Amino acid sequence: MPKESKESKIPELIIGVRNFAALKACQQHADAVYFSLDRLSLRSRAQEITTENLASFIDEIHSQGLKGYLAVNSVIYPDNLNELDEVLEYAASAEVDAVIAWDPATITKAAEKDLRIHISTQANVSNQITAEFYRSLGASRVVLARELSLEQIAEIKKDTKIELEAFVHGAMCQAISGRCYLSAYLLGKSGNCGECSQPCRWEWSLHSDNGAIVDIEGKYLMSAKDLCMIEYIPELVKAGIDSFKVEGRLRNPGYTATVSESYRKAIDLFKEGNFTKDKVLPLKEKMALEYNRGFSTGFYFGYPGPDSLAFDFDMNASPVKREAVGIVTNYYPKQSAAAVKLMEQGLKNGDRIIIEGSTSYLEQEVTSIALEGKAVNSVERGNEIGLAVEDVVRKNDRVFRIKK
């Protein structure tokens, strides 16, 4: 592939985060982050950012020179309207850089509070007339439907003045622009109100009219692979995309760090005129060691076929797994040690572990274990131990062992 011009516009890199730890993990690589509160978004299971700490979260984002976009993109019912007013008032007071919305009620009320508006992918914006319609309502950006090809995006770009944002990495929904009713129908938990239980990731069997099970490849018949476009940065730029969006608001800070760093390196290679697929393939391989469902290019090069479905594996295709070990019960800064209750697994020296909380993320090797004041090489589940740690951890942080 020929080198790209250094004069090409470099898109903004936006990373999804769920808490302060994830923000810290990507702050050296992202241009902006997007996140949700514990309500009125499609990731309401991400409970750690609330109206109470929103202002401090935005202050931390801005202190790192980043922008912060708040997703308020759930369905709004009549009994949600007062809550919507409250959330948007907090957003305006905290000076979020934009609200991601699609429901006309949210758009209208955000505009009344002079909040910058980005139209959510839930709106399924798939052509230039629709993009311009939202611009006429005061939106400054649309997050395009995931079901568009690069050719279609380029055509939209020619005929609209609004900024275009597109997903380049992360989970793909089996429904058009995420407008899925499967979870609500089967479990009473609406994906459109932030409660998706992901039944599309379950094992399913296919039955014929007479009840016989049809023998087909794989078991996970509706589970889409993750989107990964790191090999195609030049094509994405050429299509006119202004902002690259990485999904992952429910994934751990280690994932956030690796993916954000990989895309930053790939974008920088393009910016410097040094981008080649050979140079970014190691970045893709590194991302494959984090939680993923396998990778595909989604709809960017045409309608995806069977190769875009994760038929054969349950949720995580990475060879690296995390096993729950226990919980931090105390931290002793002078000793650089933590007290850990081993609830699920034992530990031994040499194990690779992760300690993770809403404001903490630490990956290290176990180098020193103490049981009842004595150094030991290994210890079984059920004990409380002293563990040497390389950075600050906090009470109630979770401890995981990395298994390869």
Convert the pLDDT of each residue in 3-43 to its tens digit. Answer: 444 567 899 999 999 999 999 999 999 999 999 998 888 76
2 within some domain: no
313 within some domain: no
Q: How many structural domains are present in the chain?
A: 2
Distance of CA 258 to the CA centre of its chain: 12
Average pLDDT, the chain: 92
Residue 122 in contact with residue 180, Cβ under 8 Å? no
Residue type, 116: R
Cα distances from 168 to residues 29, 139, 238, in angstroms, run 15, 22, 14
Each residue's pLDDT tens digit, 123-142? 999 999 999 999 999 999 99
Task: Provide, rounded to the nearest whole percent, the portion of the chain with pLDDT above 90.
Answer: 75
304 & 335 share domain: no
368 & 248 share domain: no
pLDDT band at 119 (very low <50, low <70, confident <90, very high): very high
Nearest by Cα to 90 from 117, 57, 64? 57
Task: Give the pair of three-digit tokens for residue 148.
Answer: 């568009």
For the entire predicted model, the pTM comes to 0.91
pLDDT of residue 2: 41
- Phi, psi at residue 53, to the nearest 5°? -115, 10
286 & 375 share domain: no
314 within some domain: no
From 276, 308, 340, the end of a domain falls on 308
Q: Which domain holds residue 364?
A: 321-403
398 within some domain: yes
Q: 10 Å Cβ neighbour count for 202?
A: 16
CA distance 52 to 37: 10
pLDDT greater than 70 at residue 401: yes
Cα distances from 217 to residues 204, 220, 307, 310, in angstroms, run 12, 9, 11, 11
1 within some domain: no
From 308, 333, 360, the end of a domain falls on 308
Residue type, 287: M
Task: Give the pair of three-digit tokens for residue 325.
Answer: 């070990």
Each residue's pLDDT tens digit, 227-264? 999 999 999 999 999 999 999 888 899 999 999 999 99
CA distance 30 to 22: 11
Tell me the CATH number at 221: 3.20.20.70
pLDDT of residue 246: 98
